[in-house]
Amino acid sequence: MEWGRAMEELSAAIDHLAIEDVAEIPRMQLAEQLLELHWQMARLQAQIARRTGIRLP
């Protein structure tokens, strides 16, 4: 997948999360979502770290 498309999809996913009313999410579902969000955040941080470690000539 090309970079621009991937960033558009990531941005759209974050926008979708931002409009949800978290007060209406049942506690068990919210707990599951929090675990998944933390997992995905760790994956994103790993990609940031991977790119930060690259030394350009």
How far, in Å, CA of 36 to CA of 57, rounded? 37
Assigned domain for 41 exists: yes
Assigned domain for 45 exists: yes
pLDDT along the chain (57 residues), means of 10: 92 97 97 98 93 79
Assigned domain for 56 exists: yes
Return the half-sphere exposure (C-beta side, CA atoms, 13 A cut-off) of residue 50.
Answer: 6
Confidence (pLDDT) at 12: 97
Assigned domain for 17 exists: no
By residue range, what is the domain housing residue 49? 23-57
Confidence (pLDDT) at 18: 97
Residue 27 per-residue DSSP state: H
CA 40 to each of CA 13, 18, 24, 56: distance values in angstroms, whole numbers, following the listed order: 12, 16, 22, 27
CA 11 to each of CA 8, 40, 45: distance values in angstroms, whole numbers, following the listed order: 5, 14, 15
Confidence (pLDDT) at 1: 75
Confidence (pLDDT) at 32: 98
